[in-house]
Amino acid sequence: MIVQYAIIWYLTLETGEESVLAIATLVGMLPMAILSPFVGPFIDRMNKKFLLIFYDAIVAVIALGLFIYGINNDVYPLWMVFVTIGIRAVAQTAQMPTVQSIMPTMVPEAEITRVNGQFGIIQSLIFIVSPGIGAFMVAALPIHWVILLDVIGFILGAGMLLLVKIPEVASQGEKISVVKDALEGFNILRENKPMWKMTLISALFMLLFMPAMSLYPLVTTKYFGGTIVHAGWVEVLFAAAMLIGSFAVGIFGKTKDRMPWIIAAYLIVGLSIGGSGFLPGNMNGFWIFLVLNVFAGIVGQIYTTMNMAITQQSFEAQYLGRVMGIVSALMSIAGPVGLIFAAPVAESIGVQNMLVIAGFGGILAACLLYFTPSVRNYDKFLQRKLENEGQ
């Protein structure tokens, strides 16, 4: 994550253009949108430990190549940065569904929400330190030395992963039929009507939300008149708020109905981010923007963790990789569609109004979830079903 943020800061410092950040985000999301349906079959049937090491190895090889190039060149051409972002995205496309499909095989059913919360704590800590360290290192070191961290991370991560025993699932070792298995994952998801509706609503939210998120550094620097350091503060505080949200899930994660929390989270994110678009474009507005991002970060993490736990509990472990691939694809494809319009719209109406659009997306998602009874009551039904199966 340090390298990922370092690349964002690098592009912001070198260009400061809406179109460059929008393209970078688009390149980072397209692989997930295109490839997610097809990685699920491999996740369900191949050795998951090997897959995780393989993903990180790809990123490390690319990082090593960039480091060698950077020794002899002061500036990376934009096309090279975009290709790097794209390849990193390909690896990450398969990495997250793999991790998510492993968790239900290693965690008791009753503890899965709480453990997801603890996993969120670790992720939040990473998000807290990464923006600040990334910004500091970009300012203090040539970018190619920062990129070398990916190689070090691979060596340490692969070494620790080799010591972990990951249980096999029933489908592991079976013959892989990519298209057939992807369609099977799609059909399994569609058969669960409430989960299918939740996924579509989340995709609609992403369509309206992601364009603003891709321009977040420019909201700070161009609208509020801050510096790249201030932009780093936004990221750090947002991640710290996510950490608080993860602790909250650890406390309240065993609730019998998680849907009210998810609906409230969408609503608060919408009001916080959308309200930021009406703040004055000066440093006084920036400090309020920071506070609103804390609220959004807390509830956003609650939503993410609880929604993931519901998804993991809704499908059998041997199919979870395929289902997660479809869910990731539907989430991801909405983002690039919105990003196509992000730069021209932001340039015409201002980056601050992109926040208003994102906020509307959160409020709309909350309303759709609440006024769809099968979705609003789904978790109560799911918990009763799991209790009956456990008897």
Distance CA 210, CA 357 (A): 10
Distance CA 351, CA 16 (A): 13
Q: Does residue 377 sit in helix, strand or coil?
A: coil
Model confidence at 391, pLDDT cuts 50, 70, 90, reads very low
Mean pLDDT of 195-202: 94
Map 302-332 to HEC letters: HHHHHHHHHHHHHCCHHHHHHHHHHHHHHHH
Query: What pLDDT is stored for residue 284 in this prediction?
Result: 94
- Ramachandran quadrant class, 316 (left: phi over 0; alpha: psi -120 to 50; beta: rest): beta
Over residues 349-376, the pLDDT tens digits come to 888 898 999 999 999 999 999 999 999 9
- pTM tops 0.75: no
Query: What pLDDT is stored for residue 305 in this prediction?
Result: 83
- In this structure, what token pair is assigned to residue 146? 């920062």
CA 178 → CA 38, 45, 170, 322, distances in Å? Answer: 6, 11, 18, 10
Over residues 373-386, the pLDDT tens digits come to 999 999 999 888 87
What's the distance, CA 372 to chain centroid? 25
Query: What pLDDT is stored for residue 114 in this prediction?
Result: 60
CA 271 → CA 206, 268, 306, distances in Å? Answer: 16, 5, 20
DSSP calls for 209-257:
HHHHHHTHHHIIIIIS---HHHHHHHHHHHHHHHHHHHHHHHHHTT-S-
Per-domain residue ranges of the chain: 2-390
- In this structure, what token pair is assigned to residue 296? 């959004």
**Contact in structure between 355 and 212 (CB atoms under 8 Å):** yes
Domain 2-390 is classified in which CATH homologous superfamily?
MFS general substrate transporter like domains (1.20.1250.20)
Model confidence at 390, pLDDT cuts 50, 70, 90, reads low
